[in-house]
Amino acid sequence: MLRTLQPELLDSLPTDHPDARRSRRDLRVINRLMGNHRWFARTLPPLVRAGEHTLELGAGTGELALRLSAQNIPVDGLDFVTCPQKWPRARLWHTADLRSFTGYASYPAVIANLILHHLSEAELASLGATLARTTRVILASEPTRSRRSQRLFALLSPLLRANHVTRHDAHVSIAAGFRDAELPRSLGLDPAHWDCRCSTTALGAYRLIAIRRP
């Protein structure tokens, strides 16, 4: 499967639209099923040094960042949308485009959950070049691009009672996902300077752990 990008329906809906609210509910279920938040909560803490702050790209409703903050991992959020109501006052929220955000130098650790597949190859290369200047740790969980993932979601969506927005967007997201070592290559992470480990799970998660070499 070649990587293809198409617009996702959720991105075109107002945040208070019933279909958008239902799709965000579906995404919470999908994150739990894929174990994405559990993976970040398990993987990130040993990699962050004392005094370092973490930035979540595409933080959305803030649920992942709040979970990590509860583990005493300081996480700030970056997203198009405004700050969630439950966002802690002690943490920063940047309402901005991750492709043009200018504050990456403040964050030695950057995490991304189901967001990087939205970016084109050129946008991934630009983001990677920016992160390579100052970032020390990059963690990402994205869709695995495969026909198996497409078939698996088609089987699970009726059980999840996923709405039409989620069903459409899941298909599009998987088609824009990653496999093998594609993501670190797309980000331009030079193996001479970065230790990159990629893995996939049985439920279709593609995971990247990238750590800058000393």
Percent of the chain with pLDDT over 90: 93
Name the band, by pLDDT with cuts 50, 70 and 90, for residue 150: very high
Order the strands of the 93-95 sheet from edge to edge: 93-95, 75-79, 54-57, 109-113, 137-143, 205-212, 194-200
Q: pLDDT for 3-37, tens place per residue? A: 999 999 999 999 889 999 999 999 999 999 999 99
At residue 172, what are phi and psi to the nearest 5 degrees?
Answer: -65, -40
Q: Is 50 helix (H, G, I), strand (E, B) or coil?
A: coil
pLDDT at 23: 96
Q: How far is CA 107 from CA 135, 168, 172, in A?
A: 6, 34, 30
Domains and CATH numbers, the chain: 9-212 (3.40.50.150)
pLDDT at 70: 86
pTM of the prediction? 0.95
